[in-house]
Amino acid sequence: MTSPHAIDAHAASSSALATGIATATAERTPVPTTVLMCSPRYFDVLYAINPWMDPTVPTDTALAVEQWNELRNTYTDLGIVVHEIDPVEGLPDMVYAANGATVVDSIAYTASFRFPERQPEGDAYAAWLRDHGFRVVEATAVNEGEGDFLVVGDVILAGTGFRSTLASHRELAEVFNREVVTLVLARPEYYHLDTALAVLDARPGHEQIAYLPSAFSPDARAELERRYPNAIIVDEDEAAMLGLNIVSNGRDVIMPARAERFAEALRERGFNPVGVNLSELLKGGGGVKCCTLALRFSENEGD
């Protein structure tokens, strides 16, 4: 069994070895980052449970695997440690690993999917996390993992309106003993929080996000404006290519290559945007972040 301590130590070591790979900035330093991914070996669009999915449009599984490999290799080139869970035949959406759980302080709060087509994924991810030394807490409320739960500083931003329930927000706060900020999503094409909001720097005291205001209810927009007055606002066109569905280590921001205006805004803030193309996986309504589950550890683990 691999412990979270061992995984985290590996992350720190690999990150240190890779500091010269990406374009360095004067303002920002990458933090050790470890993620879990799942190959799209069985990816297909066989049903429609979000506005992006159309089973009548052909999918190219081989291309999806090729693009996913590009994303995985980009992570490793940047010093991000990648672990892989074996895909399960019959679960075509399992590639969207972010939905599989929420992992904070070496605790894994399991997913409980809204749609029956995806419900078995929760058990598969829970088993992997348990086998690798995480303390698994079974959810009793409907939630879709990091699709709707994003850690920023000492709080967890939590989306609701289409998938994860308010009851899961209350459960999340109890499991992690952190403040949970409820944000109501208002547009069905932004059905998960991670399609409408990006965490660029999660360090307490250095919090930086980007988001699309029109994806949120008026109260949620007001809360985001209050908490993050210096947030980057992404335009409608680039949000519509899932430009906000990104992964950041605090310096390098892995994102859709087509989101050029967002990339320029990131450079102006001292980040290093790194573009990838996940056009085939976009047919299922997922992008970079959707394919990536963060493995976060308690402070007394690692180096």
Contact call for residues 103 and 134 (beta carbons, < 8 A):
yes
State the SS3 of 235-278: CHHHHCCCCCCCEECCCEEEEECCCHHHHHHHHHCCCEEEEECC
68: which residues sit within 8 A by CB, 6+ positions away? 37, 39, 40, 95, 278, 281, 291
| Active site annotation includes 192 | yes
| Active site annotation includes 169 | no
* Catalytic pick among 38, 132, 169, 290: 290
Q: Which helix (H) or strand (E) holds 158?
A: strand 155-160
Q: Which helix (H) or strand (E) holds 218?
A: helix 218-227
Rounded CA-CA distance 9/301 in Å is 8
Rounded CA-CA distance 256/68 in Å is 12
Determine how β-strand 34-38 pairs with β-strand 197-201: unpaired
First to last CA, the chain: 19
Rounded CA-CA distance 200/216 in Å is 19
Instruction: For tokens 């029109």, name the residue.
Output: 214
Rounded CA-CA distance 63/67 in Å is 6
* Catalytic pick among 38, 132, 169, 192: 192
- Catalytic residue list: 192, 290
